[in-house]
Structure 1
């Protein structure tokens, strides 16, 4: 299994690709054979912005380019990246849920009586 750490480039390349997409710019992603490294970079982008699993992203990629096959080491790093992204999404979801719960608690405590007291204090 190759020991090259391609994961270290995912954030940088994702940022670049996403910036290009937002500007409607075209990008050519290539490596020596266009099979493993370039497909790994594309899969990382698809995981970050389009699909939830390596399986879904890979199915999309292979439909576009049949020879795209990351090596075993890169696939392992992509699976770890998928797990990291899912963990980050779950944290964000939990934070949003907690914020909503606090807002709901605050809103429930603002009864008509509360508003009456505020009016009496400030009128």
Structure 2
């Protein structure tokens, strides 16, 4: 249960992260008041969104970490976080931002990430 909770919280965290880091590049420009903001304003809005990223990220890692009763080691948590990050980013870029198309090289890269997850989780 702690592992599932950790994954859900990581996913929510990464939604906020994606909008904080990349939303201002395309999506937020469509909002009139946001489009008028200078760099400092954009940084402050992004920082505000990033606060919510951390509100979900920190509990996700605490719940998931083996020394806190969770199922994951530090390495496992990091690899999971990277896969969740790229998955959430890809879905946002393709379906929400609509700036990029999913290519064969992206699929190949994700397959390598799945291989990385396998290697990290494999008990040797």
Asked if these proteins are the same fold (TM beyond 0.5), I'd say: no
Which of the pair has the greater relative contact order for Cα pairs under 8 Å at 6+ separation? 2
TM-score by length of 2: 0.33
Higher Cα Rg, which structure: 1
Q: Which structure: greater helix fraction?
A: 2
TM-score by length of 1: 0.33
